[in-house]
Amino acid sequence: MNRGRTIFAQVMQFIPHKELARCVERYEGERYVKSFSCMDQYLCMAFAQLTYREGLRDIECCLRAHQAKLYHMGMRATISRSTLAYANEHREWRIWADFAHALILEARELYSADSFGVDLAQTAYAFDSTIISLCLSLFPWARFRKNVGAVKAHTLLDLRGNIPCWVHVTPGEIHDVNILDQLPIEPGSFYILDRGYLDFARLHAITTQAAFFITRTKNNTRYRRIYSQPVDRTLGLRCDQTVRLVNFYAQRDYPDKLRLVKFVDPETGKRFVFLTNNFAIPAMTVAELYRCRWQVELLFRWLKQHLRIKAFYGTSENAVLTQIWIALSVYVLVAIVKKKLHLNSLSLYTILQILSVSLFEKKPILSALLPPIFKNSDTTTDNQLKLFIC
């Protein structure tokens, strides 16, 4: 696998080049381009993500210091911060959005058999958004509040493998619940939502598409109990009821029956009231599925800590979206590398930390990622003379 190639080149060999070429052609990404191709742009930005570069000048200095190795790393053009800045500014960000989704499809197939701790045959998704703060004076297009700028990354997370299967980036002023109108719904799947997405008209749209949702009620949610099912109170369950909404607008938006499950966490004593449109799964499974929603929060924390999506290399909307989508594609690419190389004992954090300091080394990637195996060899020989004779 090595053949004298750098570790960076060995990681980049997992890129589906034909799919990237189709994305570039779809948006005419290399129209009028003479030297700095989209592939060069992606490799530079991927290098910046893997090595935690602070800015364009940082990227330029590090790559030019290894000028003799760049050709064998796949970079054919001369690296210049002005050229990279122009590419991020003007090349269509949807190239990298489509390419990231192509990687996501590949990763989901690899992780489709993984378990996420709940005995469930259907696919389960957790949906939430995270705020990426920006300076409003530098990013005036990203208005969030009066004197605050931000963008929101609305993310649909596949709980099998923790792969973000759908991402939509908007200015911060867009309310989260409005994104439910654009959310792709897969029949038969579960969508786990925070109570910030409690909009009965949109939840009923999920029901009409033969999918299931699990969310929490608000304090002002009013309902009428129709009948109750017995529950095991030793597990923390308090009730499992079939209810109807009683408020006029809520009943108009969601005229069907709902299932209400009350649960008290035995560890913290916190009380939860869940709403779902699925009446088949056990009540405890409803609580366990909602507990898994925390995985999307952990994903947001991980991305912000280990990818460059808090400090940006450009100030335009196109540059910011380009950097976010390339960062997500690098995350998914590392997840693909982990699965294809059978590195189940290593976390993504460990793999990224090792890659960040070894990209320019010419050695097999497995020898860099896996710990060396030491063997104790007995160096004593029978024909060695004794120094002291008793």
Domain boundary at 299, 325, 354, which? 299
Is 284 within a domain? Answer: yes
Given pLDDT bands bounded at 50, 70 and 90, which one contains residue 380? low
Please give the pLDDT value at position 223. Answer: 93
Same domain, 212 and 318: no
Q: Mean pLDDT over residues 219-224, rounded?
A: 92
Is 241 within a domain? Answer: yes
Q: Could you tell me which residues come within 8 angstroms of residue 31 by beta carbon, excluding any fewer than 6 positions away?
A: none
Q: What is the mean pLDDT of the chain?
A: 89
Is 304 within a domain? Answer: no
Same domain, 267 and 326: no
Same domain, 121 and 164: yes
Is 15 within a domain? Answer: yes
Provide the domain limits for residue 233. Answer: 116-299
Q: Mean pLDDT over residues 368-381, rounded?
A: 62
Same domain, 145 and 213: yes
| SS3 assignment for the chain | CCCCCCHHHHHHCCCCHHHHHHHHHHCCCCCCCCCCCHHHHHHHHHHHHHHCCCCHHHHHHHHHCCHHHHHHHCCCCCCCHHHHHHHHHHCCCHHHHHHHHHHHHHHHHHCCCCCCCCCCCCCEEEEEEEEEEECCCCCCCCEEECCEEEEEEEEEEECCCCEEEEEEEEECCCCHHHHHHCCCCCCCCEEEECHHHCCHHHHHHHHHCCCEEEEECCCCCCEEEEEEECCCHHHCEEEEEEEEECCHHHHHHCCCCEEEEEEECCCCCCEEEEEECCCCCCHHHHHHHHHCCHHHHHHHHHHHHHCCCCCCCCCCHHHHHHHHHHHHHHHHHHHHHHHHCCCCCCCHHHHHHHHHCCCCCCCCHHHHHCCCCCCCCCCCCCCCCCCCCC
Please give the pLDDT value at position 168. Answer: 92
Please give the pLDDT value at position 255. Answer: 94
Return the sign of the alpha-carbon dihedral for residues 13, 18, 20, 25: positive
Same domain, 246 and 334: no
Domain boundary at 276, 299, 322, which? 299
Is 50 within a domain? Answer: yes
Please give the pLDDT value at position 246. Answer: 93
Please give the pLDDT value at position 372. Answer: 66
Residue 219 sits at φ, ψ, to 5 deg, of -65, -30
Confidence check: pLDDT of 331 > 90: yes
Q: Are 285 and 118 in contact (CB under 8 A)?
A: yes
121-142 residue pLDDT tens: 889 999 999 999 999 999 999 9
Same domain, 144 and 48: no
Helix 94-110 and helix 17-26: axis angle, to 10°? 150
164-198 residue pLDDT tens: 989 999 999 999 999 999 999 999 999 999 999 99
Share of the chain above pLDDT 90, in %: 67
Q: Mean pLDDT over residues 330-343, rounded?
A: 93
Same domain, 292 and 218: yes
Same domain, 277 and 340: no
Same domain, 264 and 142: yes
Is 374 within a domain? Answer: no
Same domain, 193 and 82: no
Is 376 within a domain? Answer: no
Q: Mean pLDDT over residues 280-293, rounded?
A: 93
Cα gap 329→240, rounded to integer Å: 42
Q: Could you tell me which residues come within 8 angstroms of residue 155 by beta carbon, excluding any fewer than 6 positions away?
A: 127, 128, 129, 130, 164, 166, 167, 296, 299, 300
Same domain, 276 and 346: no
Same domain, 248 and 167: yes
**Which has more confidence, 69 or 42?**
42
The model's pTM is 0.87
CATH value at residue 168: 3.90.350.10
Q: Mean pLDDT over residues 60-69, rounded?
A: 89
Please give the pLDDT value at position 1. Answer: 47
Is 377 within a domain? Answer: no
The total of structural domains in the chain comes to: 2
Q: Could you tell me which residues come within 8 angstroms of residue 166 by beta carbon, excluding any fewer than 6 positions away?
A: 101, 104, 155, 156, 183, 184
Domain boundary at 299, 322, 349, which? 299
Please give the pLDDT value at position 237. Answer: 94
